[in-house]
Amino acid sequence: MRILVVGAGAIGGYFGGRLLEAGRDVTFLVRPRRAQQLTKSGLVISSPKGDFHHPQPPIVQAEALREPFDLVLLSCKAYDLDDAIRSIAPAVGPSTAILPLLNGMHHLDALERRFGAAAVLGGQCVISVMLDAAGDVVHLNDVANLTFGERDGTRSARAKAIGAALAGARFDSRLSDAILQLMWDKWVFIAALAGITCLMRATIGDIVAANGAELAEALRAECAAIAASNGFASGDKAVKRDRAMLTAPESALAASMLRDIERGGLTEVQHILGDLIRRGNARENPQSLLHVAHVHLLAYEKRRARTTEIRQGP
């Protein structure tokens, strides 16, 4: 199975690197700056699951893509999705499967519009990983899970083949017959976590210490109500897990979106919060915590764009 990993950032670098380590036929689609890094230093993974270094990982840039791959593993940021879709087009043939690892649901709609419903699988990952200043992949704990499946719940021949290709690498992979439910469950949690930690500019532990646990729970309940209205109500296990994580005393947990704000970067606000609001009715209630969190993050984006323009000058 020929696998194209879109990007060799934190997530793509980790999962693609582990597949490369396991002997799979992997090529990384990268931009010029990342291509230069990988050519100079190779792909480096530092992880509690074991370190890995490939001195010359197979890479390709968009203009050099000429033929279809069997599997496209898509792990870009949501704000890079349109560019990624244009870039991967030459790699998507009639039998290509696209496995996206983005949060939310908007990317499924966008991929389906461009490549058709049959090409697009559901997928999600659970991992804490980052790129350091040198461009090395740093895995921050021992959790590395990738779950995928056909969106209609069937266990197709191609899904089983993909499962076989993913098996044996140094991460946990699972073929699910309820992938959309799992993606909605994760979306509810990520939206609640991003909304509350970005609003408060604090970790969960700090929010709980400030008597804000009820706000975190209320925000999660809003997100869950939207999921339920779309046919994906949270099960008891997901509810208990989310509540425990969102109200844990002394927890250092915070959304990656908060880290994006703290470094002055772009956020995935529209993909994570904006699209959730669009699929529900939170916008109709100006006192909705989800609405407030969304406006808060949009205001940050507006200010960021304005100050960036001022720094760059005419």
Active site residues: 186
DSSP sequence for the chain: -EEEEE--SHHHHHHHHHHHHTT-EEEEE--HHHHHHHHHH-EEEE-TT--EEESS--EE-GGG--S--SEEEE---GGGHHHHHHHHGGG--TT-EEEE--SSSHHHHHHHHHH-GGGB-EEEEEEEEEE-TTS-EEEEEEEEEEEEE-TT----HHHHHHHHHHTTSSSEEEE-S-HHHHHHHHHHHHHHHHHHHHHHTS-HHHHHHTT-HHHHHHHHHHHHHHHHHTT-PPPHHHHHHHHHHHT-TT-----HHHHHHHTT----HIIIIIHHHHTSSGGG-TT-HHHHHHHHHHHHHHHHHHHHHHHH--
